[in-house]
Amino acid sequence: MKHLFTLLLSSTLAFASFDSLTSFQADFTQSVTDDKDKSLVYKGHVAASKPQNALWNYTKPINKDVFINKYSVTIVEPEIEQVIIRKINSNLDFFNMIENAKKIEKNVFEAHYKESKFTITTKNKIIETISYVDEFENKVKIVFKNQEQNQKINMELFIPNYPLEFDVIRD
C-alpha cells in the first residue's frame, strides 16, 4: 500500500498549477518502468478540484476508479467487485505543494514530498508531464492530453459510488 500512496500522491500533484488553479481535467497515460526496463502502461481520465478532491478513472489495462479527498482514498475495482477505503494520515496540501514548486529551467519545475522529487513539465502554463522515481526505484511518468483548467466540476463526481454487493475493505 506504500507504493499506492506514493502513486496517488504523485498523481494528485497533477491537479495543481502555478497560477491559482482551481480545477484540472485531462486524459492521461501513466507508465511505470522497473529496473529491468519492463513497463506497465495505464490510461484513463483524471478530474480534480480544490481543495483536495480527485477522481482517477483508469480505463486500461483494467477499469478502476480512485477517489481522493483530504481524509481518504477510495479505490473501486469493478472487475473484482471490491472497494478499498484507506484513511490518509497526512496533512499534505497537494495544491499548495505544486504551487510552491521551484522552477529549475524553462517549463520545468521541481516539487518535493518527503524523500521524493517530482519533475513537472509545462507548456503555456499547463502541466504536460509529471515524472518521479518511487520507493521501489520504478520510474513513473504521467503524460497529460486534452487538459482543461479552471472549469467548473460537479463536486458529486468526487463522491465514491459502487454497488452495495461489492466487498468493502477498510484500512
Please report the pLDDT score of residue 11 as a whole number.
45
pLDDT tens for each residue of 77-135: 999 999 999 998 765 566 667 777 899 999 999 998 777 889 999 998 899 999 999 88
Distances (CA, A) of 123 to 17, 108, 126, 129: 12, 9, 5, 10
Predicted confidence band at 14 (pLDDT cuts at 50, 70, 90)? very low
pLDDT tens for each residue of 138-153: 999 999 999 998 999 9
Domains in the chain, number: 1
Instruction: Give alpha helix (H) positions in the chain.
Output: 2-13, 94-99
| Residue of 12, 31, 42 lying closest to 127 (CA atoms) | 12
The enclosing domain of 24 has a CATH number of 2.50.20.10
- Cβ within 8 Å of residue 66, ≥6 positions away: 8, 11, 54, 55, 56, 58, 73, 74, 75, 76
Please report the pLDDT score of residue 25 as a whole number.
95
Predicted confidence band at 28 (pLDDT cuts at 50, 70, 90)? very high
Mean pLDDT across the stretch 19-25?
A: 81
Which residue range forms the structural domain that includes residue 47?
Answer: 2-170
The three three-digit cell numbers of residue 129, written as one number: 508531464
pLDDT at 9 over 70: no
